[in-house]
Amino acid sequence: MLKSIGASERPKSKGKVQVVTVDVGRVRRRSDVLATEEPLELRIKAGHQQRTVAVTMRTPGADFELAAGFLYNEGILKNRDDLLRISYCTEAEQRYNTVNVTLRGDALPDTARLERHFTVTSACGVCGKASLEGLELQVCALPDSDFTVTSEIITALPEKLRQAQGLFDATGGLHAAAVFSKDGELLALREDVGRHNALDKLVGWALLEGLLPLDEHIILLSGRASFELLQKALMAGVPVVCAVSAPSSLAVSVAQNFNMTLLGFLRGERFNIYTGAARVALPEVEAPQQRRGAWTPKGIR
Q: Reply yes or no on whether 242 is catalytic.
A: no
All residue ranges of the chain with pLDDT < 50 are 1-7, 115-117, 119, 121-130, 295-301
Asked if 112 and 153 sit in the same domain, the reply is no
Domain count, the chain: 2
What CATH number did the domain enclosing 161 receive?
A: 3.40.140.10
Each residue's pLDDT tens digit, 161-177:
988 887 666 666 688 99
CATH code for the domain in which residue 51 is found: 3.10.20.10
Q: Is residue 17 part of a domain?
A: no
Domain assignment present for residue 67? The answer is yes
Domain membership flag for residue 71 = yes
1-4 own/partner pairs: CB under 8 Å, 24+ apart:
2/34, 2/36
Q: Please, which residues bridge with residue 225 across strands?
A: 247
Same domain (yes/no): 169, 260:
yes
Q: Does 135 reside within a domain? A: no
Nearest CA to 175 out of 199, 157, 159, 158 is that of 199
Output the pLDDT for position 31: 84
Handedness of CA 184, 185, 188, 193 (dihedral sign): positive
Please tell me whether residues 154 and 125 are part of one structural domain: no
Q: What is the pLDDT of residue 2?
A: 33
**pTM summary value:** 0.82
Q: Is 260 domain-assigned? A: yes
> What is the reported pLDDT for 255?
92
Same domain flag for 79 and 154: no
Whether residue 219 is found in the same domain as residue 185:
yes
Of 89, 124, 127, 242, which residue is the catalytic one?
124
Identify whether residues 267 and 180 lie together within a single domain.
yes
Q: What is the 3-state secondary structure (H, E, C) of 117-161?
A: CEEEECCCECCCCCCHHHHHHHCCCCCCCCCCEEHHHHHHHHHHH
Looking only at the bridges linking them, the beta strands covering 14-23 and 26-35 are antiparallel
**Same-domain status, 123 and 198:** no
pLDDT at 152: 93
Are 54 and 162 contained in the same domain? no
Do both 113 and 66 map to the same domain?
Answer: yes
| Whether 178 contacts 189, CB under 8 Å | yes
Residue ranges making up the domain that contains 120: 38-129
Residue 128 pLDDT:
32
